[in-house]
């Protein structure tokens, strides 16, 4: 799901779940950006948006914040399967209902994805991108591009979750193949290299 924000400098910033969503929620709370699309699914179809939002998107420069598909999957794993569940009992119950357990090892998680587990947080980022003609891509892992994003939103972006390091999480060959095949469109549109 793509969620759009308008900055005070008249840029439209599009983000996806697991790509700085919580950081942008904080910026909304601080009044730095205005959310144009509610957090309900947009069905990946920009033509479903109301006229005001369509005109905002048509009239303002668009910046899409992207994240390497593998790093999104790793971030989702850390957030939903590793962190302490005291804060989010609903998420724990949902994981248990869908997979049969609320905690997974990294290896079990890789296999669950290969076996068909999917979540809205880890859908393709590129869905709906064919409806946007002109945009700039900001890669979350690139410090220079993040500086550009900070300039646009007028606020420092928390960088603690922007690391490329995944050395503690070895990737099986089957999982690597699955990621490359499943996220082929993301790799292509956002110009990421395969891991």
Cβ(35)–Cβ(2) under 8 Å? no
Please tell me the total count of domains within the chain: 1
Q: What domain range is 19 assigned to? A: 2-69+121-162+184-189
Q: What is the pLDDT of residues 22-74, one digit of tens each?
A: 566 666 666 666 666 554 444 445 555 566 666 776 777 788 888 899 988 99
* Residue 93 resides in a domain: no
* Residue 176 resides in a domain: no
* Residue 52 resides in a domain: yes
Q: What is the pLDDT of residue 39?
A: 44
Indicate whether 191 pLDDT > 80. yes
* Residue 174 resides in a domain: no
* Residue 99 resides in a domain: no
If you average pLDDT over every residue of the chain, what do you get? 75
CA atoms within 13 A on the CB side of 77: 20
CA distance 18 to 149: 17
């Amino acid at each position: 799901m793509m969620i759009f924000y308008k900055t005070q400098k008249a840029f439209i910033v599009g983000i996806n779940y697991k790509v700085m969503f919580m950081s942008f929620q904080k910026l909304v709370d601080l009044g730095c950006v205005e959310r144009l699309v509610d957090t309900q699914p947009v069905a990946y179809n920009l033509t479903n948006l109301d006229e005001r939002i369509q005109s905002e998107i048509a009239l303002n420069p668009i910046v899409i914040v992207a994240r390497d598909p593998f790093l999104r999957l790793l971030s989702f794993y850390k957030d939903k399967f590793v962190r302490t569940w005291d804060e989010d009992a609903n998420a724990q119950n949902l994981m248990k209902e869908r997979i049969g357990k609320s905690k997974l090892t990294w290896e079990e998680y890789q296999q669950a994805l290969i076996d068909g587990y999917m979540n809205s947080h880890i859908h393709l980022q590129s869905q709906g991108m064919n409806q946007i003609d002109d945009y700039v891509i900001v890669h979350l892992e690139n410090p220079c591009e993040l500086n550009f994003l900070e300039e646009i939103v007028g606020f420092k972006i928390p960088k603690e979750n922007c690391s490329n390091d995944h050395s503690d999480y070895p990737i099986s060959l089957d999982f690597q193949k699955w990621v490359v095949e499943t996220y082929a469109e993301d790799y292509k549109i956002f110009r990421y290299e395969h891991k």
